Chains A and B, each alone.
Chain A
């Protein structure tokens, strides 16, 4: 048999069959890629690798933000006509209902943990301290932005009043809202930041918004503003500030309600 006949008996030259094979390979890789994406997305090791980028982000932003630049402050005419309400809009606890009914006269902010002088501060006491007012942009992790005017006491004032003990590294905010809607306290909102952000001049405990008392839907009577990070770091309904050397002992161990549900602890991007 003529060796050349082999090419025609199969209707393909080696060159053509190689093309077919490569095309099949490419098509197979394509469909596997689609099916494989979800499997890869669910793989813990792949997720850990992807999340290693958070260290790069934190490290590089710490370098760039070490001199504590301010977030952009806007004018009155830049205010969002409607500031979107997100997350909890009304804590469900009886204790919160009681405080709200009393106009938060009985509200006390607890400051404890690694501090020299634990505090229990009323709203009147907080309002008597140094105040700061700022019109800033709130950036939600979902992608929307709203501009609001916030009035409150710089967190640094409260921390200095209590006096940090050696070993203090994080400031943890415990909140009144159970966003997880759990029967126990495991679904309570909480957040944590490090001291660089805690001592940033625009990091305030806000009790006023857009020239009025902070509305319930936006975290009354007291919420955190930390202007160089995303919205989920801006804890609402703050009732207790705990200074600590770590946050791993709390709930999911990732330092916040959304952090325990997969979001980055450092939310500067």
Chain B
């Protein structure tokens, strides 16, 4: 919608906005794979939390069980006052009752690694969690393959995501970081393309974190470890792969939080429309009054 269609004089207190123009932003490939990914990632995260709760301890190396040293453990302790949750991270011990190790189900504190609102199903059911996880893992991997092949064929990566050398110049990077911190987002012609921070972030997610999720996930499969023993060498063992799977998932959650914040701050409806219809509104600078 352009402001020109507003009845003149209806909103006397608003400053006259610059004329806006809808420009093509996202291809069908990007839009479809983006939303399939939203669905798959959400359910993988929740079912992954369910699976993690079956053994909320993480190790480095070729083996790791209750008697071995865990670099991260979410412990549930029972004392006179009921259940307490404690997280051990390396040398750190953090009291986490209410969130990790012990959280409320129907008002009562119960022992569980991650809280019920984060897991699917909300109750403890490893078998069901695996059904959800392995189904959406297939959807996620096939969707990712479509994105990577389609994106290469359509030159999406080279055209839209690969930063230019000028963009990678330290001065430019610093300027972009400063602009983002001040919430100054590109306008006009500059808004037609991703800025360099977006490019680097999306490249990191699409080509590093998401493939790592798949590969570390596959390394937890004893069947695939025998078909591709190199997986065990690359990631340093099944327990290490499981730890990396968890760390990458946490980094992806951090990405989603920042991504959603940026979407909200830089114009939620414009961003949402561009990821649904493909069209993004930019202000045409030349026409400013």
Interface residues, chain A, with chain B CB atoms under 8 Å away: 4, 7, 13, 15, 19, 34, 37-38, 41-42, 47, 49-54, 56-57, 61, 64-65, 69-72, 74, 78, 80-84, 137, 139-147, 227-230, 258, 261-264, 268-269
Residues from chain B with a CB closer than 8 A to the CB of A140 are 55, 65
CA of A141 to CA of B68, assembled, Å:
18
Let me know if B71 is at the binding interface, CB within 8 A. no
CA of A142 to CA of B242, assembled, Å:
11
Stretch at the interface among B21-29, B168-176, B199-207, B216-224: B216-224
Contact in complex: B127, A65 (CB < 8 Å): no
Residues from chain B with a CB closer than 8 A to the CB of A69 are 226-227, 229
Select the residue from A13, A146, A258 with max chain B CB neighbours within 10 A.
Answer: A146
Contact in complex: A145, B121 (CB < 8 Å): no
Residues from chain A with a CB closer than 8 A to the CB of B122 are 37-38
Contact in complex: B227, A144 (CB < 8 Å): no
Question: How far in angstroms is the closest Cβ of chain A from B7?
Answer: 6
Q: How many A-B residue pairs have CB under 8 A?
A: 147
Contact in complex: A137, B65 (CB < 8 Å): no
Contacts A34-B117, A38-B121, A147-B63 given; does A72 touch B226 at CB 8 Å: yes
Contact in complex: B225, A72 (CB < 8 Å): yes
User: 9 interchain pairs (CB within 8 A)?
Assistant: A38-B121, A38-B122, A53-B131, A53-B134, A53-B138, A64-B228, A81-B68, A82-B65, A143-B242
Number of interface residues of B (CB under 8 A): 51
Contact in complex: A41, B63 (CB < 8 Å): no
Contacts A38-B121, A145-B63 given; does A269 touch B223 at CB 8 Å: yes
Question: How far in angstroms is the closest Cβ of chain A from B101?
Answer: 17
Contact in complex: A61, B121 (CB < 8 Å): no
CA of A229 to CA of B138, assembled, Å:
19
CA of A80 to CA of B61, assembled, Å:
11
Residues from chain A with a CB closer than 8 A to the CB of B67 are 80-82, 84
Contact in complex: A268, B68 (CB < 8 Å): no
Question: How far in angstroms is the closest Cβ of chain B from A141?
Answer: 7
Contact in complex: A145, B65 (CB < 8 Å): yes
Contacts A52-B135, A82-B67, A141-B126 given; does A147 touch B226 at CB 8 Å: no
Interface string of B222-241 (1 = CB under 8 A from A): 11111111001000011100
**Residues of B232-279 whose CB lies within 8 A of A:** 232, 237-239, 242, 269
